[in-house]
Structure 1
């Protein structure tokens, strides 16, 4: 997550457990949405979760590295990223 900025950073066990728990929760939400037909196509559930996780971590990394600006700008990029990803997963409505 820190892209080498903190070379000695090693998450502790509690942090790693928190990450696993959070990923499971996202996995459950995506899986349920797929089961209910709320997502387009036959998508691999884990791949969807990894794309979300990686994309949002990227936004966080850019913010922490000073590449986005202030917290308000980072939040806007975070929200836009979520909006675009969710929009790409929703079934297309006929025009």
Structure 2
């Protein structure tokens, strides 16, 4: 004879059937925190630009963690911060981010 029980609360449980006893423990494992991967950098236009012309940089940000989280993408040109954007991405999801700056 087989029995199936489900418990969702972390605790130790004792089961008894017809005078026989045994126990089991439910352990709740917290999800991994948000973790981010940035890839697929592209620059548009790719060729030469005139001074004052907009340049757009696009990246793909993926949340490879187990929880939703926020990530700030910072665009730096020659180590100078030109733009930034903060995005919230669900666990296992990804989002394309585009930032623009004027060519000097």
TM-score range (shorter-chain normalised) is: under 0.3
> Which structure carries more strand by proportion?
2
Task: Report the TM-score, using the length of structure 1 for normalisation.
Answer: 0.20
> Which structure carries more helix by proportion?
1
Task: Report the TM-score, using the length of structure 2 for normalisation.
Answer: 0.19
